[in-house]
Amino acid sequence: MTEPEVEDQAAGGAIDTLRRRETPEGVEITLRLAGPVPRALAFGIDLAIRGGVYLALTPLAGLAGIGTGLLLLALFLLEWLYPVFFELHRGATPGKRAMGLLVVHADGTPVAPSASLLRNLLRGVDFLPVLYGVGLVACLVDRDFRRLGDLAAGTLVIHREPPLPATLPAHPPLPPPVPLDLATQQAVLAFAERSPRLSPARRAELAALAGFDTRATADADPAATLLGVANWISRGKSAVDTPPAAATAPQAAPAGASTAASTAAGERAP
């Protein structure tokens, strides 16, 4: 994976907890780092959950012959694979999710299996000498609040930002040059919602792939055409039955429109 362009941004206060990252696709995202306090509270929640599961599994010890072995195996899996499982499937353990936290790579992408496994295997070192003493010191010393496991795996623990209401960039509404099916309309709207996060070059590239004939519209810029069509659709206009001026020549919806706009819709932060 290529190294992302990294630009740090001051938080406007005494402590800088915001990091800006530009992904290889040209999407700029802002990560808000989680400090030791919310992480400690998340650990306490996870510890309580694991403790409840431990108690529920204690009857296994009563099984003749294999009971103790099954109990020890279950305890091992809960201790070491519990965080890995939830980080890979949900982005964070239940405790971290309850505190609004997320585990990601340093470039903001979702954590990979190898990174999750490494950061959690090193919890044994971070725990030394007691109650995560080494990990706490590492978090306080590192400007990104990373414990040793995070440093080795190249991961960050960030605050999961609530999704913002979808808004479209302002643009005069334009009727689509050809009738659009429902899936293509949704893809065009997704492209418009994501376009402010795309670099100008990437936005133009994806818009060109859509394949709209811009000669049939008032705007010759493919990206502007898509934004205009998105504003037309968002205002309740029908993109299936286009007005007579836009439907003088019956054409099928461009094959690349849904693909290109869907690609832009998939380019987002974790």
What pLDDT, in 10s, does the model give residues 6-42? 444 433 343 578 888 876 656 677 899 999 999 999 9
For residues 39 and 215, the model is more confident at 39
Phi, psi of 157 (to 5 degrees): -110, 120
Residues near 41 by beta carbon (within 8 Å), at least 6 away in sequence: 95, 99
User: How many Å is the Cα radius of gyration of the chain?
Assistant: 25
Amino acid at 173: P
pTM above 0.75, yes or no: no
Q: Determine contact, residues 262/22, Cβ cutoff 8 Å.
A: no
- 128 C-beta neighbours (distance < 10 Å), count: 12
DSSP annotation of 158 reads E
In the structure encoding, which two tokens stand for residue 256, read together?
A: 């690349």
Residues near 51 by beta carbon (within 8 Å), at least 6 away in sequence: none
Q: How far apart are the first and last CA of the chain?
A: 17
HEC sequence for 60-129: HHHCCCCHHHHHHHHHHHHHHCHHHHHHHHHCCCHHHHHCCEEEEECCCCECCHHHHHHHHHCHHHHCCC
Residue 173 — very low, low, confident or very high, per pLDDT cuts 50/70/90? confident
DSSP annotation of 29 reads E
Alpha helices in the chain (DSSP H): 36-57, 67-80, 82-90, 94-98, 113-121, 123-126, 133-141, 148-153, 182-194, 200-210, 222-234, 255-266
Least confident of 119-128, 130-139, 169-178, 217-226: 217-226
Cα separation, 72 vs 112, whole angstroms: 27
If you average pLDDT over each of 69-73, 177-181, 182-186, which comes out highest?
Answer: 69-73
255 pLDDT more than 50: no
Cα separation, 207 vs 191, whole angstroms: 9
Task: Please write the tens of the pLDDT for every residue from 60-87.
Answer: 777 777 888 888 898 899 999 999 999 9
In the structure encoding, which two tokens stand for residue 88, read together?
A: 């890979």
